[in-house]
Amino acid sequence: MKSVSLNLHIMRTAFLFLLILQIMISCADESTTSSPSQTNNDDLNVDYYQFNEFMLDSVGIDASIMIPNETAGIGASFDTEVLHDDGDFKWQISAGRNFNIFVEDYGDYQYLMPEFIRRIDTKDIFKTQIVKQTGNYIIYKRELNTSTKHKSTYHFYGVKYINGVYYEIKNSEEGDSLKVIEFILKSYLSLNSNAEIL
């Protein structure tokens, strides 16, 4: 009788052990699954061979960014130009006529992305399709459908937190080709505080 009781006790203990082990494994799997706010692994392995580093500290942002050069095949120029008025909170970073990034300082305001997502969902004359979205940036396509023409453009919107400041980063309102947006994404991902650079 004791051996049956002992065997039941061992089986219950083993069952509980396996159950707890299974719960721990499933929790570990959930924690490693990418959530919208996490960085995509693809975003960590970016090749910048067609880019040049540009320091932004001379225009009031203590950071650096990688900007495509003339080898990128998007009509970018070797020289990067920044349009910015002293004391203003807006910058336009250009590398030729086809590559423009607009940056705006929003101080400690941290709700830029949720507000943008709400705005993008509102109905207007454009049909909007999200191409890629994370917690920090979004790439989307806009289609203008009228009886006379059909036009598609691609757009980028992202938020970066650098040195205690939230920066909004986007392309021009008119939109760009998907190829240009892919270069803008690489530039966005490279934007880092100078303090982080070793």
List phi, psi (to 5°) of 13: -65, -45
pLDDT at 36: 35
Picking from 23-32, 52-61, 88-97, 147-156, which range would have the lowest pLDDT averaged per residue?
Answer: 23-32
Residue linked to tokens 């004359």? 125
Pair (71, 11) in one structural domain: no
pLDDT band at residue 197 under the 50/70/90 scheme = low
Pair (77, 163) in one structural domain: yes
Pair (27, 59) in one structural domain: no
When the pLDDT of each residue in the chain is averaged and rounded to a whole number, the result is 81
Domain enclosing residue 18, as ranges? 1-33
Give the count of domains, the chain: 2
Pair (66, 25) in one structural domain: no
Better-predicted residue by pLDDT, 181 or 1: 181
User: Is 40 part of a structural domain of the chain?
Assistant: no
Spell out the residues 6+ positions from residue 113 whose beta carbon is closer than 8 angstroms to its own: 135, 136, 138, 159
Pair (57, 88) in one structural domain: yes
| Position 64, amino acid | S
Residue linked to tokens 């880019």? 51
pLDDT at 35 over 50: no
pLDDT band at residue 74 under the 50/70/90 scheme = confident
User: Is 176 part of a structural domain of the chain?
Assistant: yes
pLDDT at 78 over 90: no
Pair (12, 53) in one structural domain: no
Pair (67, 15) in one structural domain: no
User: Is 149 part of a structural domain of the chain?
Assistant: yes
User: Is 139 part of a structural domain of the chain?
Assistant: yes
CA neighbor of 159 nearest in space, from 150, 151, 168? 168
User: Is 131 part of a structural domain of the chain?
Assistant: yes
pLDDT band at residue 173 under the 50/70/90 scheme = very high
User: Is 39 part of a structural domain of the chain?
Assistant: no
Q: Output the CA–CA distances (angstroms, integers) from residue 4 to 15, 18, 39, 68, 116, in the order listed.
A: 16, 21, 54, 74, 65
pLDDT at 75: 74
pLDDT at 59 over 70: yes
Domain CATH number, residue 151: 3.40.1000
Quote the CA–CA distance of 71 and 44 in Å, as a whole number: 22
pLDDT at 177 over 80: yes
User: Is 38 part of a structural domain of the chain?
Assistant: no
pLDDT band at residue 87 under the 50/70/90 scheme = confident
Better-predicted residue by pLDDT, 135 or 26: 135
Q: Output the CA–CA distances (angstroms, integers) from residue 89 to 92, 93, 119, in the order listed.
A: 11, 13, 22
Quote the CA–CA distance of 156 and 139 in Å, as a whole number: 5
Pair (95, 29) in one structural domain: no
Are 65 and 82 in contact, with CB atoms under 8 Å apart? no
Quote the CA–CA distance of 158 and 134 in Å, as a whole number: 9
Better-predicted residue by pLDDT, 16 or 45: 45
Q: Hey, what are 31's tokens?
A: 């924690």
pTM here is: 0.74
Pair (159, 70) in one structural domain: yes
